[in-house]
Amino acid sequence: MNKARLAKINELIRRQIAEMIERDFDHSPREFITVTEVITADDLLHTRIKVSIWPDEIRGALFERLVRAAGFFQGLLNKRLQMHPVPHISFERDDRVREAGRIEELLEKSHNN
């Protein structure tokens, strides 16, 4: 698959899923789910959607709810995208932002000592 085309498909899926999470997924306004990356296979059969979730206290439970709703999102995506096949989606947690914050905090503590 052409890398430029695959990048466009990833961005299209990222925007669609982010919008669906915001509008169609039942969560509190104080719960933030950010689509950080979309990785679609070259054969367009599968897409991994990485998400960052805040606050940390509910990250696990909210992620599990998101995973259980994957079929719902798949159905909406199938209706919205003008492509065939529409890749099968799966969600993955992206803890890079959380880990970066933890490292920054540790560095700050060591700098202050």
- For 9-42, what is each residue's pLDDT tens digit? 999 999 999 999 999 999 988 999 999 999 999 9
Please give the pLDDT value at position 110: 75
What is the band of 56 on the pLDDT scale with cuts at 50, 70, 90?
confident
- Adjacent-strand bridge partners of 49: 38, 91
Whether the Cβ atoms of residue 14 and residue 87 lie closer than 8 Å to each other: no
What is the band of 98 on the pLDDT scale with cuts at 50, 70, 90?
low
Cα–Cα nearest to 89, from 33, 51, 34? 51
Distance between CA 46 and CA 42 in Å, rounded?
9
Distance between CA 69 and CA 53 in Å, rounded?
15
Question: Strands of 32-40's sheet, edge to edge?
Answer: 32-40, 46-54, 88-93
Distance between CA 23 and CA 104 in Å, rounded?
33
Q: Which CATH class is domain 3-112?
A: alpha beta
